[in-house]
Amino acid sequence: MDLLGILVGKFVILGCKLTGKNGTSLPGKLALKVDSDIIKNIVKDVKNEKIVVTGTNGKTTTSGLIAEILRSSGKKVVHNREGANMLSGIATVLIKNSDIFGNISCDTGVFEVDEANMPLVLNDINPKVVVVTNFFRDQLDRYGELDTTIKKVKESLSKLPKDSMLLLNADEPFTASLGDDLNINVFYYGILDKLNYGYSLSPAFEQKYCPVCGGKYVYKDVFYGQLGDYYCPKCGKSRPKLDFGALDIKLTEDGISFKLKYKEKLINVKSHLTGAYNVYNVMASVATNVLLGISFSDIQTGLNNYTPIAGRLQKTYLKGKKTIINLIKNPIGFDSTLNMLREINKPLNLLIAINDNYADGRDVSWLWDVDIENFVSHTKINHVVTSGLRAEDMALRLKYAGIDQKKIKIIKPIDEAMDYIPTITDEELIAVLPNYTSLHEVNNYLKSRGVKQ
């Protein structure tokens, strides 16, 4: 091992700490310039299984749940919890958890991985389990067409050892198709219930056609976005048989519960996370740990202990007013958040913060793919504040969705918008919905005001 790479990384981590920076990617980025094999060299000392989680939405929550369950079972876990999921972020977390000689004392590793980085990461980490949550259109000006990303992921999966385990979301057609013709152990998870919340295929629906014959998919049930129970009437291809299936699903403001069917067993699962889309995240985390042989009691303890990271269904108070903060970064993520708020069934005041920095994607036309009209028709919205660099674009989208212009106020500086919204709130729930770089500004605001996160 090139110890210079470790020392460079350690030095930059110290510098970031002294200057008050997060330093979740820069140390690894510079260390990789010195030693391109630094990830491979450190991760080989992780004693047991390595788990990789990828996909467009849900990978941060799913990987966090997996890691927390493993910790609850007594394992020492290295995990890129902050969500820095490219090579530089993974290198950083490994350097942080190793000594100056690159030795790491961990039982297992859980790594959230950006989809486009999968080929490089899988080559370096050689995971025992890979979890794929879903594929949706996300930052296309950065990645190009969705099918290009999926093709790269599938090529990388085909190189895994035969004893590897691949856990796929069967309800999402792109993801389910990854399991076709792979010579490894493939497991599928999905929903067995009907969710009676009036969901229909999202305007951002991607996978319309069967990859085998080109026939158009027909859906028996839609759970959210393009996730559901589907089949092709032309060739018969359908949603794969589920190895893990959620049924008796209950969604409340305080959390979710369901029974997970695995073989002949029914596992009772509860989580304080909310929203139908979190059924998938919780289910994937439970299924992963079942495959790893973790006991059901340790699994439930881990679910109870899990604390979401900032901006992922984060619950707090702004000037004494109950507030929920959730990241929105693409049409399906935005739709899912709106559906979750609709399920809560309370009057709302919204603060939506949209930037168009590089990390967000420059093109904000995706806002028009969100089914805001459906949300507006089913929800009592008293006030909306739009903020960020593209606040006007968001306000225009809301106007065309049918929200009375008198209810919409534009306040571009995010800190000023955060100060303002509790002043117009009585009994409403405040929902703060930032996109990627807006979330950093929201978090900085909370820290500067001493708000509990």
Active site residues: 363
Q: Can you point out the beta strands (E) in 342-428?
A: 348-353, 381-387, 408-410
Please tell me whether residue 126 adopts helix, strand or coil conformation: coil
User: Within the chain, how many helices (H) and strands (E) appear?
Assistant: 16, 17
* β-strand pairing of 265-271 with 255-262: antiparallel
C-alpha to C-alpha distance for 168 and 156, rounded to whole angstroms: 15
Cβ atoms of 320 and 425 closer than 8 Å = no
Cβ atoms of 442 and 414 closer than 8 Å = yes
- Cα 160 from chain centroid? 24
DSSP string, 302-348: HHHH--PPTTSSEEEEETTEEEEE----SHHHHHHHHHHHHHHTS-E
C-alpha to C-alpha distance for 208 and 231, rounded to whole angstroms: 11
Cα torsion 162, 164, 168, 170: sign:
positive
In sequence order, the β-bridge partners of residue 383 are 349
What is the CA angle 255-259-264, rounded to 5? 165
Nearest residue to 374 (alpha-carbon basis) of 194, 207, 200, 218:
200
232 assigned to a ligand binding site: yes
Please tell me whether residue 215 adopts helix, strand or coil conformation: coil
Cβ atoms of 328 and 433 closer than 8 Å = yes
Cβ atoms of 66 and 288 closer than 8 Å = yes
CA atoms within 13 A on the CB side of 278: 28
Which single residue is written with the structure tokens 């978090």?
A: 443
- Cα 198 from chain centroid? 23
16 assigned to a ligand binding site: no
Q: Can you point out the beta strands (E) in 146-263?
A: 165-169, 185-191, 218-224, 227-231, 244-252, 255-262
**Beta-carbon contacts of residue 437 (< 8 Å; ≥ 6 apart):** 355, 357, 359, 360
Binding positions for Zn(2+): 210, 213, 232, 235
